[in-house]
């Protein structure tokens, strides 16, 4: 049977022409070389034709290193963070996959009989030229692996460079501290995308689609501190995974999902604000606002172009569309350049480190300590009630709200929706599920209506700021949306809370 261990690592991508600059950083100057851990690595990865192992969160490979073959089975942990945290089983083999060594591992059910085992075969190859080092930081031992990689899948291949920081012993927070130091030497991009995921992307176009929010599973009795970390990891991972995809494909939906991840994280910060009250937390929120601002300008143009196509008769004005597309292209180029800047990478790394080991976890101030220990279902009931009261107050006077008030209501609805999704598993009864579905449905409808109203107003402002006329029929559409908003509010006010 393969020996089990736990792998905690951080991955950062860089351009090949920046390797020399990176190696010149003091972190590497004081690192201890590990020649036996480097050199040429040739790995064959296994799966079924329908990628059943990948769907199960498994990675299975046989790697040749220094003349020896090692079989490795990796399994993703339930709550995936930016520091990849996986269970790992390894054993020495004779050059091919050893099905018998799968006993006691998550691969075992897939090889339980000969017919199932026969479906597992090589699907792609990963060749790596590795330089390995070991560094110590505040009692923590970290292995640095600088990899030049080629993945080959079917008739396709791709090349890239990445730096892996693997925790050998000590505090995982130091992974982020070392990574932040290294951004001083070269533009590094945090990536949760593994080598195997890159290869799957060559085989399956769906592997690089926009990344939506993952389900949050919070057992009752979970402390608020643990609950926040589970939620925040999910939110930040959504941001980073979409950011990595946005570099390759400027799909408006990818950008949208990246912004959704940021908004979800902002909602989590508000819901758990009592225990996050510190200067460090305020600095993180400032970083995230800056990131959101960089995305917002481009998103406004995406929405404007989409609205232009929807609200103009027959087809959009060619000159308008050409100008809008040009502005969008320019804005995306500026955004991509911003994503390359150390400030962006540092903001993400700083946020990830704060989630995992920020000072909010150890401050002894009474109110903060109490808030950390509070069972999350108690916090959820309090916070959902608070947001629900504010939404109801605005919904009752929806016809009187001006643009800014409607915008604030829409923001509250988003936070309420995200909170209801975060805390859904805490109220598992059948009546609670039914009321939650009803509430989320009406909230989503009202948010969509208010969002379209906001998009029309923003689009009109964009058009007028560039000497254009308002899009045709936008006034008529706004009147209709006003009526829809009033109807949606009337239904929303009749819904019963699911957390009572």
Q: With bands split at pLDDT 50, 70 and 90, how would you rate the model's confidence at 136?
A: very high
- Start-end of H helices in 24-134: 26-29, 52-55, 114-117
| Predicted local confidence at residue 208, as pLDDT | 63
Over range 233-255, report the average pLDDT: 87
Instruction: List % helix, strand, coil for the chain (3-state, nearest 5).
Output: 55, 20, 25
Residue found under tokens 């201890």: 32
pLDDT of residue 205: 63
For CATH 1.40.20.10, list the domain ranges present in the chain: 252-492
Is the whole-model pTM more than 0.85? no
- Show the tokens assigned to 456: 């029309």
The pLDDT score that the predictor gives to residue 314 is: 56
pLDDT for position 82: 63
Q: Half-sphere exposure of residue 287, counting CA atoms within 13 Å on the CB side?
A: 20
Q: Which CATH architecture has domain 252-492?
A: Alpha solenoid (1.40)
Most confident by average pLDDT, 191-200, 250-259, 377-386: 377-386
Cβ of 30: how many Cβ atoms within 10 Å?
A: 11
Least confident span in 135-144, 291-300, 430-439, 490-499: 291-300
pLDDT in tens, 71-82: 999 987 665 556
Give the model confidence (pLDDT) of 453-489 as tens digits: 887 777 666 665 555 555 555 677 788 888 999 999 9
Listing DSSP states for 67-87 in one string gives TEEEEEEEEE-SS--SSEEEE
Question: What sign does the CA torsion over 74, 77, 78, 79 have?
Answer: negative
- Of residues 205 and 257, the one with the higher pLDDT is 257
Q: Is the Cα torsion angle 486, 491, 493, 497 positive or negative in sign?
A: negative
- List the one residue out of 438, 444, 396 whose CA is nearest residue 417: 444
The reported pLDDT for the residue numbered 81 is 59
Residue 4 has pLDDT above 70, yes or no: no
Please state, for a pLDDT cut of 90, what percent of the chain lies above it: 48
Gap between the Cα atoms of 97 and 53, Å rounded: 14
Strand partners of residue 14: 161
User: Which CATH architecture group holds 3-208?
Assistant: Beta Barrel (2.40)
List residues bridging with 125 in a β-sheet.
44, 152
Cα torsion 71, 7, 123, 112: sign: positive
For residue 277, give the nearest of 196, 365, 405, 337 by alpha carbon.
365
Given phi > 0 = left and psi -120 to 50 = alpha, else beta, which region is 37?
alpha
Q: Which of these ranges, 139-148, 246-255, 261-270, 318-327, has the smallest mean pLDDT? A: 318-327
Measured between alpha carbons, how far is 83 from 466 in angstroms, rounded to an integer? Answer: 44
Q: CATH 2.40.320.10 region(s) of the chain?
A: 3-208
What is the model's pLDDT at position 162? 94
Q: Classify residue 109 by burial, with Cβ atoms within 10 Å: 0-12, 13-18, 19+.
A: exposed
Residue with tokens 């799957």: 200
Mean pLDDT over the full length of the chain? 87
Phi, psi of 159 (to 5 degrees): -125, 145
Residues 277-328 pLDDT 10s: 888 899 999 999 998 888 887 887 887 777 667 655 555 556 777 877 888 8
Alpha helices in 126-251 (DSSP H): 173-182, 195-203, 224-246
């Amino acid at each position: 049977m393969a020996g089990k261990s736990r792998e905690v690592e951080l991955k950062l991508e860089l351009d090949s022409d920046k390797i020399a600059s990176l190696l010149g950083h003091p972190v590497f100057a004081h690192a201890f070389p590990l020649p036996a851990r480097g050199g040429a690595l040739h790995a064959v990865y296994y799966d079924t034709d329908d990628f059943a192992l990948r769907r199960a969160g498994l990675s299975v490979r046989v790697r040749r290193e220094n003349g020896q073959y090692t079989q490795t089975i990796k399994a993703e942990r339930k709550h995936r963070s930016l520091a990849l945290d996986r269970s790992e089983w390894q054993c020495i083999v004779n050059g091919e996959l050893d099905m018998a060594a799968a006993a006691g591992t998550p691969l075992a059910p897939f090889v339980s009989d000969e017919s199932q085992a026969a479906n597992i075969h090589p699907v792609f190859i990963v060749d790596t030229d590795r330089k390995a080092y070991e560094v110590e930081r505040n009692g923590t031992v970290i292995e640095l692996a600088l990899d030049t990689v080629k993945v080959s899948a079917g008739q396709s291949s791709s090349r890239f460079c990445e730096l892996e920081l693997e925790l050998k012993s000590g505090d995982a927070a130091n992974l982020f501290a070392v990574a932040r130091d290294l951004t001083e030497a070269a533009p590094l991009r945090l990536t949760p995308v593994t080598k195997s995921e890159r290869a799957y992307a060559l085989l399956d176009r769906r592997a690089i689609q926009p990344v939506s929010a993952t389900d949050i599973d919070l057992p009752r009795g979970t402390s608020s501190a643990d609950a926040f970390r589970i939620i925040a990891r999910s939110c930040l991972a959504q941001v980073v995974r979409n950011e990595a995809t946005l570099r390759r494909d400027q799909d408006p939906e990818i950008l949208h999902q990246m912004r959704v991840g940021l908004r979800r994280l902002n909602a989590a910060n508000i819901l758990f604000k009592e225990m996050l009250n510190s200067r460090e937390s305020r600095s993180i929120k400032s970083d995230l606002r800056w990131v959101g601002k960089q995305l917002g300008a481009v998103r406004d143009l995406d929405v404007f172009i989409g609205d232009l196509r929807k609200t103009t008769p027959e087809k959009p004005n060619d000159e308008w569309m050409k100008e809008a597309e040009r502005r969008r292209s320019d804005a995306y180029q500026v955004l991509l350049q911003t994503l390359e800047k150390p400030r962006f990478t540092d903001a993400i790394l700083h946020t990830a480190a704060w989630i995992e080991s920020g000072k909010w976890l150890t401050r002894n101030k009474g109110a903060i300590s109490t808030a950390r220990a509070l069972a999350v279902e108690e916090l959820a009931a309090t916070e959902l009630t608070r947001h629900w009261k504010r939404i109801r107050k605005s919904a009752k006077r929806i016809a009187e709200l001006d643009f800014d008030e409607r915008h604030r209501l829409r923001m509250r609805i988003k936070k309420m929706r995200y909170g209801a999704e975060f805390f859904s598993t805490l109220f598992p009864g059948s009546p609670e599920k039914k009321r939650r579905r009803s509430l989320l449905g009406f909230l989503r409808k009202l948010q969509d209506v208010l969002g379209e109203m906001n998009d029309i107003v923003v689009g009109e402002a964009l058009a007028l700021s560039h000497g254009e006329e308002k899009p045709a029929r936008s006034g008529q559409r706004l009147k209709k949306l006003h009526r829809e908003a009033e109807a949606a509010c009337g239904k929303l006010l009749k819904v019963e809370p699911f957390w009572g």
